[in-house]
Chains A and B, each alone.
Chain A
Amino acid sequence: MDLTFSSEDLKFRDEVVAFCETEVDRETREKIRLGHRLTKGEIVDYHKALYARGWAVPNWAPEWGGLGWSALRNQIFEEVTAAHHCPRRLSFGVSMVGPVLQAFGSREQQERYLPRIASLEDWWCQGFSEPGSGSDLASLKTSAVRDGDEWVLNGQKTWTTYAQHADKMFILTRTDSECKPQEGISFMLLDMDTPGIEVKPIVLLDNYHEVNEVFFDNVRIPAENLVGEENKGWDYAKFLLAHERFGIAQIGAAREQLNRLKAIAGMEQTEDGGTLINDPLFAQQVAELEMDLTALDITNLRVLADPANQADLTFAGMLKIRGSDLNQRLSRLIMEAVGPAAAVEQQGLVLHGRNEPPLGPDYAAGAAPTYLNMRKVSIFGGSNEIQRTIIAKAMLSA
């Protein structure tokens, strides 16, 4: 047993630190530190910086620019970038449709799309969830009917993250309804500027436009945009979701939040003139979070370092459940540390640059919106109840 990093890994860590400090826009990092939202341009610029550094698609096949990073290296990258308040890597292209195209796409699709994913010339969004198909994804109804050299798409997707920014969508469509639901689904690629697509914003609890409804009215998709075989889309989606689990515990983000929490609690004055971090009731909650994070960090490393644990569904589900719970609790405690100033809705003021000094310290405005936004992490990607169902099945069938 050995829990130390190799000298190569430590050297890599230094390289990532240098990248964060010199190649990533300082103002962008400051916005993230304060819990403010980024513009499309800021997100794109970060990905361009990654691309310029050669780190845009480290986990792809070498042929398409992959670097063969070990799981541990990915973890180091996540932790260091989170610690430096860098944006999160957009997963839709790099971690979702990219790996699917490499595994199941045609040569033509690979050559056409993969380089533009790596450089973020194409921003992809994910067309999976529907109003009637959340956790029960296989019940989806959006249908594609073959008409000559095209598919004709009708229906609706929802919760589509950043559809308003996207150039392309990968989408699950029903292409056969006369069979088991899972066996009549196909995986297709779509240009977002195709006639018949309408994107409508859904504003979330944090007052932010992050997700959308997307409506399809006789949208014509070229036949060549089918990925792999017709009616095999469910298999590709499962493959994709397995890739999505990577980094699901969000250890780096949690560690950054814990440090932020300690810093804020060290500055906030209590009623008796002390600081919040010395209030026993508050400090106890911080201590418990630190312990829980320490355990989750090791569980995550146990999974990364051991292929047997990676294949074990009880671990994948546990990382999702524990990671989301931890990040939610951290966001709540940060908000509570900020105190009454967190109750004021001033995100809009910050975004629109109103010429009024913010209420409370600079970290106040983002606290409640971040807390509210974080409620999503136990719901998306298979809700924590779905994860428990999966774990139970794996445990009881063993």
Chain B
Amino acid sequence: MDFGLSDDQRLLQETVSRFVADRYALDQRKGYLANAAGHDPAVAAELDELGLSLVQVPEAQGGLGGDAFDALVVGEALGPGLVLEPVLDAMTAVCALGQGVPDVVEAASAHTLALFERGQRHSLKPVGCRVDGQGLLSGEKTLVANVAGLTHALVSALDETGTAGLYRVALDEDGATRFDYPLQDGRPFADLRLEAVPASRIEGIGLAEIEAANARRVIAECAMAVGTMQAAADMTREYLSVRKQFGRPLAAFQALQFRLVDMNMEVQDARSMAIWAANQANVQSGDALLRAASMAKAKIGRAATLVAEESIQLHGGMGMTLDYGIGAYAKSLTTFSLLNGDVGFHTARVMRLAA
């Protein structure tokens, strides 16, 4: 039993943390959001150069051969930056689903995941997207990460027999259009509309494989949320120490101390859960993997909401302003809780998949 980081993991952590400190301070991020693309393509290129999408790719395929613990380290280190690029998608689900397809693995960060449909909430089962006998895909996907430099989408769809599969679609094909919007936390996303777009099926990928890959993505997102929660808790602690009312720092008031302590315990609980889930991602498959991801997201999603709300409350009026940093953390955590299965969805799955 050892919770320490290996030398490689420490290096990975330092690399990502340095990038976040140098390129993703909250004020810098605000500037990126003002760009037309909703992020800064030059910074995205720098992030891409870190090669994080290769972390879990086997060494034989040119990757780093890491496991879910490495993804945990990356996720937590990215958390304080609220990075706008879907780097965790590339590192987890894109590489897992594109395993054996060099075009996908070698350009993972140029691929976006198109797995959800409007009206289907958190379900990964394609309903309205279909591929015809000529291999042309039609339908709409929602909540698709939409940054500059994307060339392809991995789209889940039904074939002529009604079986779910995964298809690679070029985004510059005629008939592929994007309706773009920002999320509550500012990240650029889009709905993807496909009208008879040529699609190549990724062999060996069905709904079970999509569910498993998405579970790994959820677990990595949980790690990132832990990093964000820690940053929010640190900022709140700092604020309580500095801000004075009634002639003393807010930190001197026991009612506020207790709330800070409870917030800190939520962060530590969440971190433990993320570590546990990463271990499960390394050793489990099938329903056990899905259940582990759901336990993690249900627990960490709840913690994220609590930390977001308490961060705002403990900052008082400052917490309400769009300009002050704590709101960015709170909105990121709120968005995390809502997407890719909320607390209710994942709790229900924990109940359904008995241990």
Taking a contact as CB atoms under 8 Å apart, the answer to whether B269 and A389 are in contact is no
| A298 interface neighbour in B2, B258, B273, Cβ under 8 Å | B273
Taking a contact as CB atoms under 8 Å apart, the answer to whether B351 and A287 are in contact is yes
Find the residue from B1, B2, B251, B276 having the highest chain A CB count within 10 A. B1
- Whether a CB of chain B sits under 8 angstroms from the CB of A280 is yes
Taking a contact as CB atoms under 8 Å apart, the answer to whether B1 and A292 are in contact is no
Taking a contact as CB atoms under 8 Å apart, the answer to whether B265 and A280 are in contact is no
- Whether a CB of chain A sits under 8 angstroms from the CB of B284 is no
- Whether a CB of chain B sits under 8 angstroms from the CB of A291 is yes
Measured between alpha carbons, how far is A296 from B272 in the docked complex, in Å?
7
Measured between alpha carbons, how far is A240 from B284 in the docked complex, in Å?
42
- Whether a CB of chain A sits under 8 angstroms from the CB of B347 is yes
Taking a contact as CB atoms under 8 Å apart, the answer to whether A396 and B279 are in contact is no
| A395 interface neighbour in B9, B254, B260, B273, Cβ under 8 Å | B260
Taking a contact as CB atoms under 8 Å apart, the answer to whether B257 and A389 are in contact is yes
- Whether a CB of chain A sits under 8 angstroms from the CB of B275 is yes
Chain B: interface secondary structure? helix
Contacts of A294 in B (CB 8 A): 272-273, 276, 295, 299
> Whose C-beta in chain A lies nearest to the C-beta of B256?
A392
Taking a contact as CB atoms under 8 Å apart, the answer to whether B3 and A306 are in contact is yes
Measured between alpha carbons, how far is A1 from B260 in the docked complex, in Å?
29
Find the residue from A283, A295, A299, A314 having the highest chain B CB count within 10 A. A295
Taking a contact as CB atoms under 8 Å apart, the answer to whether A299 and B272 are in contact is yes
> Whose C-beta in chain B lies nearest to the C-beta of A75?
B1
> Whose C-beta in chain A lies nearest to the C-beta of B296?
A291
> Whose C-beta in chain B lies nearest to the C-beta of A321?
B265
Contacts of B264 in A (CB 8 A): 314, 318, 391, 395
| A291 interface neighbour in B3, B72, B240, B273, Cβ under 8 Å | B273
Taking a contact as CB atoms under 8 Å apart, the answer to whether B269 and A322 are in contact is yes
Per the CB 8 Å criterion, the residue count for chain A at the interface is 41
- Whether a CB of chain A sits under 8 angstroms from the CB of B261 is yes
Q: Which of B273-295 contact A (CB under 8 A)?
A: 273, 275-276, 278-279, 295
Known: A301-B3, A395-B260. A296 touches B351 (CB 8 A): no
Measured between alpha carbons, how far is A192 from B300 in the docked complex, in Å?
51
Chain A: interface secondary structure? helix
Measured between alpha carbons, how far is A297 from B273 in the docked complex, in Å?
9
Q: Which of A248-306 contact B (CB under 8 A)?
A: 280, 283-284, 286-288, 290-292, 294-299, 301-302, 304-306
Interface-lining segment among A2-10, A27-35, A124-132 = A2-10
Per the CB 8 Å criterion, the residue count for chain B at the interface is 38
- Whether a CB of chain A sits under 8 angstroms from the CB of B322 is no
Find the residue from A72, A290, A302, A396 having the highest chain B CB count within 10 A. A396
Known: A72-B1, A302-B272, A305-B2. A292 touches B299 (CB 8 A): yes
Taking a contact as CB atoms under 8 Å apart, the answer to whether B270 and A2 are in contact is no
Per-position binary interface string of chain B over residues 141-155, scored 1 when its CB falls under 8 Å from any chain A CB and 0 otherwise: 000000000000000
Find the residue from B270, B348, B351 having the highest chain A CB count within 10 A. B351
Per-position binary interface string of chain B over residues 240-267, scored 1 when its CB falls under 8 Å from any chain A CB and 0 otherwise: 1100000000010010011011101100
Taking a contact as CB atoms under 8 Å apart, the answer to whether A391 and B1 are in contact is no
Q: Which of A295-338 contact B (CB under 8 A)?
A: 295-299, 301-302, 304-306, 314-315, 317-318, 321-322
Taking a contact as CB atoms under 8 Å apart, the answer to whether A287 and B350 are in contact is yes
Taking a contact as CB atoms under 8 Å apart, the answer to whether A396 and B241 are in contact is yes
Find the residue from A1, A297, A389 having the highest chain B CB count within 10 A. A1
Shortest distance between the CB of A298 and any CB in chain B (Å): 4
- Whether a CB of chain A sits under 8 angstroms from the CB of B336 is no
- Whether a CB of chain B sits under 8 angstroms from the CB of A388 is yes
- Whether a CB of chain A sits under 8 angstroms from the CB of B237 is yes
Q: List 17 A-B contacts (CB under 8 A).
A: A6-B1, A280-B348, A286-B351, A287-B298, A287-B351, A288-B347, A290-B295, A294-B276, A297-B272, A298-B275, A305-B3, A306-B3, A314-B264, A391-B265, A392-B254, A392-B261, A395-B261
